[in-house]
Amino acid sequence: MQNALHEAQTIVLLGGTSEIGRAIVEQLVTPATRTLVLACRRPDEANPDEFARDGLNVVTTYFDAAATDTHDPFVRGLAADHGDLDVVVVAFGQLGDQADFDADPQAAAEVVHVNYTGAVTACLATAAQMRRQGHGHITVLSSVAGERARASNYVYGSSKAGIDAFAQGLGDALQGTGVRVTVVRPGFVHSKMTRGMKSAPFATTPRVVGELTAEAMRKGKHTVWTPGILRYVFMTLRHVPRPIFRRLPLG
């Protein structure tokens, strides 16, 4: 359970190797934190030593975002092993390549399944556990790509639009239960996922996303844009006529 300063004792990162997810966790871990779970498909690559400190038990465990039927028992198992789950960060996801999706619809389906269906079942299983506890905070990694789909990555963008809408609705549904939801909308982030890609305006880093997300969570905000200026940029872009939008250098 979180203490009076809203410091979490148990933090779970679904997508334990995600650079952005790890940057968020780095900002959330305090001396009050007793357990950190890094859950991912390749636990041997999760590098728990990066978070090692006195009094903190860092656990790596197998988690498959695509295996949606395992999510509820997985979350129940975490609670049985570690007690109440104070914060769960849902950071797994795949970007993929639009040209590959155009040539292979099944590849597109697999990415959408992870980014949307997997995130939905993981969030619902977590929300059910936190309802039973009577408290908790779910942080969901969305993207500005979901605000208005672009020709260069519309499969990825559509999956993020879906999970963003879901998470906003989940947050509203959990009002009054003691469970909060924060949706994170980063712009282009320099990371392993975007290595080799052309940068977009207002590009940022995992560290900045982590700092802004942790600050927003502490303030109880339901949505955080990283960087913040993107909120106003996309407020405008939503209304740009499509013929003009197609010609904008947005990556």
Q: What is the DSSP string of 52-81?
A: --TT-EEEEEE--TT-GGGHHHHHHHHHHH
- CA distance linking residue 36 with residue 82, whole number of Å: 9
Pairing of strands 57-62, 87-90: unpaired
Of the listed 62, 116, 156, 232, which one is catalytic?
156
Sorted by sequence, the CB contacts under 8 Å of residue 235 that are 6+ apart come out as none
Q: What is the dihedral of CA 45, 136, 204, 188, to 10 degrees?
A: 80
Sheet containing 136-141: give its strands across. Answer: 57-62, 35-40, 10-14, 87-90, 136-141, 179-186, 223-226
Angle between helix 105-112 and helix 154-173 axes, rounded to 10 deg = 20
The angle formed by the CA atoms of residues 23, 194 and 12, to the nearest 5 degrees, is 30
Would you call 154 a catalytic residue per the annotation? no
Catalytic residues: 156
